[in-house]
């Protein structure tokens, strides 16, 4: 997945993002300007062996500052168990900006990659 690091000027990769225990949903990746593309895949790896990610959402907005709305309120089923990788693919979409938000009831660390393609 290292080739993904160059997509979107390196903004499509977040490594070692800490999600504090019981905190509100936090931005993991984004905002990403994806208006030139019509498909992408989100990969989320929970890097801790004990605690799950309890919420994962894809949000979209007309500008990079919002207003943000849930485009998918449950990426890959909405969670990511401890020490696993989950992914979700999207196609034939016309979003301008996206971001991925998440939270963990017990606290964890995640790596997130967004692979883009399909120039419009």
Residue whose C-alpha is closest to residue 47's, from 120, 115, 110: 110
Task: For residue range 69-79, list pLDDT tens digits in order.
Answer: 999 988 888 88
pLDDT score at 8? 67
pLDDT score at 10? 66
DSSP single-letter state for residue 23:
P
Q: What one-character-per-residue DSSP string does the chain give? A: -GGGGGGGGGTTEEEEEEE-BTPPPEEEEEEEE-TTEEEEEEEEEE--SS--B-EEEEEEESSTT---EEEESSGGGG-B-TT-EEEEEEES---SEEEEEEEBSS-EEEEEEEEEEEE-
**Host domain of residue 97:** 2-119
Task: For residue range 33-70, list pLDDT tens digits in order.
Answer: 988 888 889 999 999 988 999 999 999 999 999 999 99
Would you say residue 7 has pLDDT above 80? no
Would you say residue 1 has pLDDT above 50? no
Task: For residue range 89-105, list pLDDT tens digits in order.
Answer: 999 888 999 999 999 99
Place of tokens 């959402």: 57
The count of structural domains within the chain is: 1
């Amino acid at each position: 997945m290292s080739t993904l690091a160059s997509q979107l000027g390196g903004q499509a990769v977040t490594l070692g993002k800490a999600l504090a225990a019981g905190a509100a949903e936090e931005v993991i990746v984004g905002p990403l300007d994806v208006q030139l593309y019509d498909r992408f895949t989100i990969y989320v790896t929970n890097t801790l062996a004990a605690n799950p990610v309890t919420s994962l959402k894809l949000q979209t907005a007309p500008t990079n500052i919002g207003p943000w709305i849930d485009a998918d309120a449950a990426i890959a089923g909405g969670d990511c168990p401890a020490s696993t990788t989950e992914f979700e693919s999207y196609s034939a979409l016309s979003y301008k900006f996206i971001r991925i938000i998440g939270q963990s009831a017990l606290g964890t660390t995640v790596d997130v990659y967004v692979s883009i393609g399909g120039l419009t």
